[in-house]
Structure 1
Amino acid sequence: MEHHGNCHCGAVKLRLPSTPETGISCNCSLCRRHGGPWAYYEFGTVQIDDPQSVLRAYVWGDRTLRTMHCSVCASVTHWEPIDGQLGARHGVNLSNFDPALLASVRVRRFDGADTWTFIDE
């Protein structure tokens, strides 16, 4: 089942290819500021429409990922690998979708700030 979402102003549209099995709530320095939770898909399987070219990237740390946000409304939409290799992991912010989707997904807590382990089990 596909799911359609968008940034707050609607300039960026997102389409998930399927319902995620889980979402991840991370407490790393970036995720705790941007929110989430994140759902992960194979890079290239999530459709991202940006017809007005409003998406902007933020890159930090080991410079392997870019976190994307709408330059109009500042909604963080997703993160993607900088090298753009198909099949790599791709994170999508579930907060940009119908709240019913988020309510239907188990959200796991991940300690990205310290131990790099799940802290909900």
Structure 2
Amino acid sequence: MLKISCLCGQVRVKIPKLPSFINECNCTLCSKSGARWAYFNPSEVGIEGTTKGYSRADKEDPAAEIQFCANCGSTTHFILTASAISKFGNSQMGVNMRLADEKDLAGIELRYPDGRAWPGTGGFGYVQEARIIGRAASE
């Protein structure tokens, strides 16, 4: 089990397993919130503490609402909006792996999707090649 928290420790997140990969998306929401997302079923994640939410105002129908600590402002996770849940079900949430110690994530693939260029459907392009956390770039 991986236990992580926001900067002040008031929001704590427990996940039962390490993710198979982590995304560091370059879209405006992800880059400005400082997030590296790992994805889980909401039933697998335990959240303790008070968070506030924010959904993008520049999207007509945003799919995600980021959650952040009401005290220190650290981005902790995202949940799907009601609109996205009605379309896709409540099957995914993201946890911000920047809150984890990188040594705890060694061996996990870090991907760099090009969210800024993504048209909203289909697969992502990538802005750079994936790397394995904990390995030097030359390995």
Give the TM-score band, short-chain normalised: 0.7 to 0.9
Aligned residue number for residue 104 of structure 2: 101
Match of 2:2 in 1: 3
Larger radius of gyration: 2
User: How many residues are aligned here?
Assistant: 117
Query: Share of identical aligned residues, percent?
Result: 28
Paired residue for 2:55, among 59, 63, 86?
59
Scaled by the length of structure 1, the TM-score of the pair is 0.86
Q: Tell me which amino acid in the other structure corresponds to 1:40.
A: Y
Cα-to-partner distance string for 1:68-107 (whole Å, 9 max, x where unaligned): 0012111000001123956521111001122212333210
Taking only aligned residues, the RMSD between alpha carbons, in angstroms, comes to: 1.9
Where structure 2 has 5 or more consecutive residues not aligned to the other structure, the ranges are 119-123, 131-139
Mapped to 2, the partners of 1:44 and 1:93 lie a distance apart of 17
* Larger RCO (CA within 8 A; separation ≥ 6): 1
**Aligned counterparts of 1:78 and 1:111: Cα–Cα separation in 2:** 20
- Runs of 5+ consecutive residues of structure 1 not aligned to the other structure: none
- In the TM superposition, residue 43 of structure 1 has moved relative to its aligned partner by 1.9
Q: Could you list the per-position Cα deviations for residues 18-63 of structure 1 after superposition, in whole angstroms to 9, with x for gaps in the alignment?
A: 011110010001111112211011122111111xx3x100012223
Aligned to 2:45: 46
Partner Cα separation in structure 2 for residue 36 and residue 63 of structure 1: 17
TM-score (norm 2): 0.76
Structure 1 segment 26-37 matched on structure 2, within 5 A? 26-37=25-36
Kindly indicate whether the alpha-carbon contact (under 8 Å) linking 2:18 and 2:105 is maintained by their aligned counterparts in 1: no
Structure having the higher strand fraction is 1
Q: Whose helix proportion is higher, 1 or 2?
A: 2
